Amino acid sequence: MAGMVSITLQNNDEARPVIESILHDNPNANANYMPGAVKIDCPERLVVKAESVSERIGRDWDPQEIHLTIVSMGGSLDEDDEELVLSWGA
């Protein structure tokens, strides 16, 4: 419970590869599905890797594309060309 970070994404076709990548790259992440959206919680730190998403969609995925599907988040965010990181204490 302490230091849980989260990201909520729309549950649609566009977000699906992002959701899959997150669940793959963050073994401790837990997905909660609700109508239209999915809330992914993870202790301490959650990473969205551009490379993982790119592999799944067969083209380069820009981390800024997260803006198209993100619904909410908890934690402090840092973004660069390779990944988005949510954490506390940054």
Partner 1 sequence: MTPPRKKKMNLKQRYALMTRGLDWETSYQKMDDVFPYDTFEGIKITDWSKWEDPFRLTMDAYWKYQGEKERKLYAVLDSFAQNNGQLGISDARYVNAIKLFLTGVTPLEYQAHRHFSHLGRHIRGVGPRVAAQMQSLDELRHAQTQIHTISHYNKYFDGFAEFPHMHDRVWYLSVPKSFFDDACSAGPFEFFTAISFAFEYVLTNLLFVPFMSGAAYNGDLATVTFGFSAQSDEARHMTLGIEVIKFMLEQHPDNLPIVQKWVDKWFWRGHKVLGLVAMMMDYMLPKRIMSWKEAWEIYFTEAGGALFEDLSRYGLRVPKYADIATDEAEHISHQNWAIFYQYTQAAGFHTWIPGDDELDWLSEKYPNTFDKYYRPRFEMWREMEAKGERFYNNALPQLCQTCQIPMGYTEPGDPTKIGFRSSVYKDERYHFCSDGCKDIFDDEPEKFSQAWLPVHQIFQGNCGGADLSDVLKWYHMDQGIDNMDYNGSPDQKQWDAWQAARKKVAG
Tell me the C-alpha distance between 40 and 46, whole Å. 9
Applying CB under 8 A, what is the total number of residues that bind partner 1?
A: 32
Please report whether residue 49 would count as binding partner 1 according to CB under 8 A: no
The pair of structure tokens assigned to 27 is 């073994």
Does position 65 interact with partner 1 (CB under 8 A)? The reply is yes
67 sits near partner 1 (criterion: CB under 8 A): yes
Minimum gap (Å) between residue 27 Cβ and partner 1: 20
Residues that bind partner 1 (CB under 8 A): 1-6, 8, 10, 34-37, 39, 64-65, 67-81, 88-89
